[in-house]
Structure 1
Amino acid sequence: MSTPTAPASGIPADQRFQTLFEQAPFSAQLLSVDGRTLRVNRAWQDLWGAHDGDPLLEFVLSGYDMLADPQLEAKGVTPYLRRAFAGEAVRIPAIRYDPAELGKPGLARWVQATARPIKAEDGRVAEVLLIHEDVTERLQAERELRESEAQFRTIADAMPQMVWSTLPDGYTDYFNEQTYEFTGLPAGSIDGERWADILHPDDREEAWRKWRHSLETGAPYEVEYRLRHRSGEYRWVLGRALAVRDGQGAVIRWMGTCTDIHEQKRARDELLASNRRKDDFLAMLAHELRNPLAPISTAAHLLKAASSDPAKVQRSADIIERQVRHMTELVDDLLDVSRVTRGLVELDRQPVEMKTVLAHAIEQVRPLVEARGHELTTRMPAGDVHVLGDRPRLVQVVSNLLNNAAKYTPPNGALSVAMAVGEDVEIRVADNGMGIEPDLLPHVFDLFTQGARTPDRAQGGLGLGLALVKSLVELHGGRVVAESAGSGQGAAFTVTLPLLKKGDLQAQAATPAIPLPRATHQLRILVVDDNQDAADTLGLLLETLGHEVHVAHDSARALEAAEASRFDAFVLDIGLPGMDGFTLARELRASVSGAAATFIALTGYGGVDDRHRGQEAGFDHYLVKPAEAAELAALLRR
């Protein structure tokens, strides 16, 4: 029989195996086919803290049968070992080992193992090599990472913004719940590049361009774009992202948010548009005011140069008069729209027959209609139609609409005025003229808004008419709407006013005049109103009723009068220059003259908040102009 020869290196094979086994950097345990431990290496001893003389080492190496260990059976290890002894290489999942179970001190460890069969030449399993790996730190790190991610998701889901994250290459792998709430899409449906599907098509190129720049440079990402909302509407959002870097500065992740800024952006855009309209209006106003100055200046020079020529003097005077009248109309328009839009206009409400209103409005505009060669048609219902309103102001509403129709319709156009009666009264003014652009249509009633004007500015005016129309109609409890199919398609304006029905009309007509009760005893009354006519006429009325009246037109004079004399009652306007009526009432109430006096507000401010402020200021009564004289007289009689 031949004996085994040593390899060329001179080291026997079993010695080489023993050296490799002992010096291996991993924990190794060699098992016999019947499950006993034959040997363990130094790394195994270090893993388990068992060295020469340790009872555990002696226990493991002295007939310990792993297959019969009830603890390993309970942990589910034995089935894996049996597969290894049957010839299969198996990986045993991480299992928690507690040194206390082996009667040893120390912390519990998590160990993952691989069992590999060592086979003889005939294919039979001779031994099994069990390699252990301590994965305690790795599992602990994974658990902490999971807890951190869970905490992050909780925080992210609680945020009002959409939160997202991507891998270093930009692949999106996380969205919070708010994202899916906003989009209405199923969770996970927009991962990766599918995110682009909900971007507005017009915004994708810019968003991707900036995103690619951030990915290439690591620079912060910020862009405004529109995302498809669950309602189907595209809403503006602000997208931001920052790079998360490791200790060496390399990008390991991107964290981003999307904030819904739709309302803020719309308000900002509207404010910018409003400012542009205001600037355009001011430029147009300057142009309109300068235009008359040129002929006025020329006419003035002509008067100087040709003062002895009666014809030229007369012609120059006519020019000046005509241009001054035009400038006066412009200023009047400005003042009128200012008063109306600020609620400073008082309506004289009476039953008004609307056919007469339309007839007067047409009469005012007819010279312009005829000058431009327009055809004007009317359509009226049978019988009288009444509303409760201010007749001159209603004429102003219709004439403004007709004037616009005539100006913005090319010569020889068609205009129409129609009135219909149902639950309300509808007056419709239409034309086949220039029309209104779709983007301008929602703003035609706003101040400082005007459509395109021809270079020769043939239309003239300041474009305030529609703002005035809207305010006056709303003061009458009505509404006005504009319609147009677009440029060159004409326009129509429909005014709707509450109908004064026959029963209400009869009641209005039959209401007897309320007698003015004369004073039972004379009061000393201070009337304060910056409108001199209003103050003086009210003073005369109260004197006629038997009172002694003092009139002041501002707060300073009212305070001086109160210091000089005692009054039984104060009738105060609220909209006073400088110190308003609320403040004046407090000052007077605190004075000796006003401590026991009666305070009556007589003002154009009639809102709920105004009345509440009146009570806080110390007014005993709050009357809204035009107040019934009998009501005021009755209050003073008390």
Structure 2
Amino acid sequence: MGTQEPFHILIIEDSPDDRSDIRRMLLLGSDRHYRFTEAVSGGDALKQIAGFDRPPDCILLDFHLPDMDALEILELLRDGGELTQAPVIVLTGSKESGASVIPAGAQDYQGKSWITPEGLNRAVENARERYTLAKERLDAMHALQASEEFSRTVFQSSPDCVKILDTDGVLLDVNEPGRCLLELDSPEQLIGTVWHENWPVENREQVREAVESAVRGNVARFDGFCPTARGNPRWWDVQVSAVRLPDGPINRLVVVSRDVTASKDAEMELTQSARRKDEFLAMLAHELRNPLAPLLTGMEIISRNPEDSGTVRQIGDMMKRQVNQMSHLIDDLLDVSRITNNKVELQLQPISLHAVLLQALESVRPLVDERKHSLTVDQPRQDVSLVADHHRLTQVVSNLLTNAAKYTPPGGRILVTAGISAAGGLDITVKDSGQGIAAESQSRIFNLFDQGPAGEREGLGIGLTLVRSLVEMHGGTVSVSSEGIGKGSEFRVQLPASVIEAEPTGETPSAAREETASGPLRILIADDGRSTADVLGLFFRMEGMDCRVVYDGGKAVEEALAFRPQLACFDLGMPVLDGFQAGAEVRKHLPGCYLVALSGLGAEGDRKKTAAA
């Protein structure tokens, strides 16, 4: 298989620094393989072009050169014709001088002060496409002049929408592909109408100016929005040019309209994506900063009133809520990352539906009570066993309940219904009397970072995305229905046939093993984060356990051999020996010691590595 030929760029620029910048920007902004040729003057460039086997793929032309300016060079490159020998982009210092090069034959102009690598590469691609379009049009017009029958074939064979106008802008003909693109039942729907009157009112002046420019002998180009005859939205890249009679006068105009709706939609989607990303980052900063202020204030109050047990208890409860809020937020972000990268594996086993609902209700109960909602649960009288991931299914129900509690005004009603479908699957619905969801927002409510246009802008807009992803991983579906703003919402989770008759089985927690020695439980904490290690040590000692704290992996192994702990909590990123190395050493000498990894890392690979250690 042959390799693709390099894209040949001729740079006509007398400044070495500017030539270097142009090469750098082209290489930075694209993966395309370029071949560069350079000229320092207009005369030098024309000689090189004359010696090429074929014209370059694109010419980048400085407006001001030592021997001539861009307008003179463009006239020589046209050589009496309508088109230059290759696509030309003029590099200029001002928009005023740039605008003058388009009628002279350039495909585009770029300002040296505002150009970027991406912008320059995009301009090259657009210039090449416009040049190809103009050349196709010119070839079609030459064919039209040479042979009416042949030109008619060319006219009809163009994949673009091609229209023929008279000099007053009245439509005389449209090709068959154009009829299809415009979704016309017949060309007669357009023929005889004034072209600009078929456009939306806001675009008509632009279209009229393009016709007038073409009548003066110029090639007019513009992008515009105009729906089809059936009302479907379309964006068009339009070029209008004149057709001259053999003796010189202009008697017809040719309009070539290319459907660029797909690229416009992609461009708008990128813009919206960038906007959503910016909103997300701003909201993330807000959500992470919010708990910090009360935490700092609470610590200040405790430091000033350490003997006031009532205040300390009240502040402690508040601090626990704020830390739990931050922890939940970070867990959701990590889950989104893991699911997006296919790093989540479901732990499918027989579980209890009642246990799932109970745990989900307990997690959301503080928020429900705070907002004084009425929460009702309708579930089967007898417990139901089903095959699912207990933690992830609980997360689904909890997120739906949190969403309902958050977006329902205080004093609202929330109804949770769970049951078995006729097909043997599980149905769970969460219905609220909250603010509701507009019809146009329901199709995208599960999209990442999308919180809808109305209501509180609280949270990051990732809870429902997690719900959908986790439900789909179970092979199920989640849907939403709402009669509109102010009329509440209902979310429905449907899992496939997963209900079983067997009783759910539960694992006996490893931490419940009998102690092998009398006296307080011996615990060793090793973490180079001294605050984390000291707080953990303080907690275990308050619980009556014998706890020792060290701050690196080497000391952890030494202390373990001397202290012989029953439980060791090791940070994975410690100095001297990391948590994996320290754990392996302790395991060799104390096989009965229960090891716990402390880490902010949560990828599946990290979990497997700690399990292997």
TM-score, length of structure 2 as denominator length = 0.52
1:210–1:221 Cα contact (<8 Å) kept: no
SS state at 1:235 partner: coil
The alpha-carbon distance between structure 1 residues 281 and 381, as it changes in their structure 2 partners (threshold 3 A), is same
For 2:492 and 2:348, the matched residues in 1 are separated by 22
SS state at 2:234 partner: strand
For 2:352 and 2:319, the matched residues in 1 are separated by 39
- The one-letter code of the counterpart of 1:438 is A
- Who is 1:388 aligned against? 387
For 2:308 and 2:417, the matched residues in 1 are separated by 52
- Who is 2:254 aligned against? 255
- Give a deviation string over 1:459-480, Cα, whole Å, max 9, x none: 7432211011011001101111
- The one-letter code of the counterpart of 1:442 is S
2:352–2:504 Cα contact (<8 Å) kept: no
1:330 Cα deviation after fit: 2.0
- The one-letter code of the counterpart of 2:251 is I
Superposed, 1:331-410 pairs within 5 Å as 331-380=330-379, 385-410=384-409
For 1:446 and 1:405, the matched residues in 2 are separated by 17
Superposed, 1:126-141 pairs within 5 Å as none
The alpha-carbon distance between structure 1 residues 162 and 442, as it changes in their structure 2 partners (threshold 3 A), is same
Superposed, 1:182-581 pairs within 5 Å as 182=181, 183-193=183-193, 204-218=200-214, 220-228=220-228, 232=230, 234-244=232-242, 246=244, 251-302=250-301, 320-380=319-379, 385-420=384-419, 421-423=421-423, 424-452=425-453, 460-500=458-498, 502=500
For 2:292 and 2:414, the matched residues in 1 are separated by 34
1:282 Cα deviation after fit: 1.0
- The one-letter code of the counterpart of 1:480 is V
- The one-letter code of the counterpart of 1:344 is K
The alpha-carbon distance between structure 1 residues 364 and 307, as it changes in their structure 2 partners (threshold 3 A), is closer
1:339 Cα deviation after fit: 1.6
Gaps of 5+ in 1: 1-142, 510-551, 558-602, 606-624, 627-638
- Who is 1:170 aligned against? 169
- The one-letter code of the counterpart of 1:153 is R
The alpha-carbon distance between structure 1 residues 155 and 383, as it changes in their structure 2 partners (threshold 3 A), is farther
- Give a deviation string over 1:505-554, Cα, whole Å, max 9, x none: 56999xxxxxxxxxxxxxxxxxxxxxxxxxxxxxxxxxxxxxxxxxx99x
2:173–2:187 Cα contact (<8 Å) kept: no
- The one-letter code of the counterpart of 1:173 is L
For 2:378 and 2:178, the matched residues in 1 are separated by 57
- Give a deviation string over 1:111-130, Cα, whole Å, max 9, x none: xxxxxxxxxxxxxxxxxxxx
SS state at 1:439 partner: helix
- Give a deviation string over 1:359-411, Cα, whole Å, max 9, x none: 43233323322332222334445755444210121111011111111110112
The alpha-carbon distance between structure 1 residues 388 and 156, as it changes in their structure 2 partners (threshold 3 A), is farther
Larger Rg: 1
- The one-letter code of the counterpart of 2:257 is C
For 2:499 and 2:297, the matched residues in 1 are separated by 57
1:245 Cα deviation after fit: 5.8
1:376–1:415 Cα contact (<8 Å) kept: yes
SS state at 1:481 partner: strand
The alpha-carbon distance between structure 1 residues 296 and 145, as it changes in their structure 2 partners (threshold 3 A), is closer
The alpha-carbon distance between structure 1 residues 160 and 221, as it changes in their structure 2 partners (threshold 3 A), is same
1:236–1:261 Cα contact (<8 Å) kept: yes
SS state at 1:279 partner: helix
For 1:327 and 1:445, the matched residues in 2 are separated by 22
Query: Percent identity, aligned pairs only?
Result: 37
- Give a deviation string over 1:74-101, Cα, whole Å, max 9, x none: xxxxxxxxxxxxxxxxxxxxxxxxxxxx
SS state at 2:206 partner: helix
- The one-letter code of the counterpart of 2:361 is I
Query: Relative to structure 2, which stretch is displaced further, 249-258 or 301-310?
Result: 301-310
- The one-letter code of the counterpart of 2:362 is E
For 1:249 and 1:312, the matched residues in 2 are separated by 95
For 2:249 and 2:427, the matched residues in 1 are separated by 71
- Who is 2:63 aligned against? none
- The one-letter code of the counterpart of 2:491 is F
For 1:370 and 1:284, the matched residues in 2 are separated by 26
- How many residue pairs were aligned? 365
For 2:369 and 2:310, the matched residues in 1 are separated by 30
SS state at 1:444 partner: coil
1:244 Cα deviation after fit: 1.3
For 1:475 and 1:144, the matched residues in 2 are separated by 60
SS state at 1:224 partner: strand
- The one-letter code of the counterpart of 1:416 is L
- The one-letter code of the counterpart of 2:223 is V
For 1:363 and 1:302, the matched residues in 2 are separated by 30
Gaps of 5+ in 2: 1-141, 506-571, 579-602, 609-613
1:337 Cα deviation after fit: 2.2
1:500 Cα deviation after fit: 2.2
1:449–1:463 Cα contact (<8 Å) kept: yes
For 1:465 and 1:299, the matched residues in 2 are separated by 29
- The one-letter code of the counterpart of 1:449 is D
For 1:312 and 1:385, the matched residues in 2 are separated by 45
- The one-letter code of the counterpart of 1:475 is M
Query: Relative to structure 2, which stretch is displaced further, 247-256 or 204-213?
Result: 247-256
- Who is 2:34 aligned against? none
- Who is 2:43 aligned against? none
- Give a deviation string over 1:5-64, Cα, whole Å, max 9, x none: xxxxxxxxxxxxxxxxxxxxxxxxxxxxxxxxxxxxxxxxxxxxxxxxxxxxxxxxxxxx
- The one-letter code of the counterpart of 1:277 is R
For 1:312 and 1:419, the matched residues in 2 are separated by 42
- Who is 1:527 aligned against? none
1:241–1:254 Cα contact (<8 Å) kept: no
- Give a deviation string over 1:305-333, Cα, whole Å, max 9, x none: 66787777776666555433332222222
2:240–2:256 Cα contact (<8 Å) kept: no
SS state at 2:189 partner: coil
1:349 Cα deviation after fit: 0.2
For 2:227 and 2:273, the matched residues in 1 are separated by 26
1:285–1:462 Cα contact (<8 Å) kept: yes
For 1:385 and 1:194, the matched residues in 2 are separated by 71
1:386–1:499 Cα contact (<8 Å) kept: no
- The one-letter code of the counterpart of 1:266 is D
